[in-house]
Amino acid sequence: MKKLLILISGQGSNLEALMAARQAGDLPVDIVAVISNRPQAAGLEKAAAAGIETRVVKHTDYPEREQFDAALAAAIDAYAPDVIALAGFMRILTDGFVRRYEGRMINIHPSLLPSFPGLNTHQRALDEGVRIHGCTVHFVTPQLDHGPIIVQAAVQVRDDDDAQTLAVRVLQAEHRIYPLAVRWLAEGRLHREGQRVKINVPIREAAPLIVPVSG
């Protein structure tokens, strides 16, 4: 079984979605550890309650980004993971760190990339008046939120939405697509061709790729 390691910074609802998929038999991986850069991240308790090993590597313990990334890499490498999933991990990573794990590290981002990289994606989507918003799972590359896209899900923006209501529906969509992307990577079904990703899955499995705009 392939080894999955998950990096978090906060509540860990995507982590929960990955654990639930694993529990349901939809994600045949061994979740070897959950590592957070914040000791108070609620996701740590959720992982521990599920019997998963947890570690904290506090970014505040390291004055330089390179030092933090070196400590994080050492913590990660102790588990020799095949796949690293960033699940609400809110740190900018150095090029060296990203290259070390390139091809096996993926991220979920709360917008339809390449629109709205960075922070405050829901408010920015509302400010721009877009009608379709959503989320993206992509390979992590040195350019922030610009790696090759694996899967996206769309969410309709309603007239009465604010950033919070929109965030709730986007999160629900995130929970649908992240386990899929992790499974495809663990099963070796993803093939990068430059900025594009080809997915080698049967038609019936690929259907969720076209996630209907949810109301």
Question: Which residues are identified as catalytic?
Answer: 109
Q: What angle do CA 186, 192, 196 make, to 5 degrees?
A: 125
**Smallest distance, Å, CB 109 to ligand GAR?**
5
Own/partner contacts of 166-172, CB < 8 Å, gap of 24 or more, are 166/122, 166/125, 166/126, 166/133, 167/110, 167/122, 169/214, 170/110, 170/122, 170/133, 170/134, 170/135, 171/13, 171/14, 171/110, 172/214
Q: Which residue, 14 or 190, is less far from ligand GAR as judged by CB?
A: 14
Beta carbons of 208 and 168 less than 8 angstroms apart: no
**Smallest distance, Å, CB 99 to ligand GAR?**
19
When CB distances to ligand GAR are compared, the closest residue is 88
Helices (H), 92-202: 95-100, 121-128, 163-186
Q: Which residue, 69 or 174, is less far from ligand GAR as judged by CB?
A: 174
Tokens of 42: 């609620």
**Smallest distance, Å, CB 177 to ligand GAR?**
10
Q: Which residues bind ligand GAR (CB under 6 A)?
A: 8, 10-14, 43, 87-88, 108-110, 171, 174
Q: Which residue, 11 or 165, is less far from ligand GAR as judged by CB?
A: 11
Beta carbons of 14 and 41 less than 8 angstroms apart: no
- Distance CA(153)–CA(135), nearest Å, equals 6
CA-based torsion, 186, 192, 196, 201: positive or negative? negative
Q: Which residue, 132 or 191, is less far from ligand GAR as judged by CB?
A: 132
**Smallest distance, Å, CB 108 to ligand GAR?**
5
**Smallest distance, Å, CB 204 to ligand GAR?**
27
CA-based torsion, 147, 150, 155, 161: positive or negative? negative
Q: Which residue, 123 or 204, is less far from ligand GAR as judged by CB?
A: 123
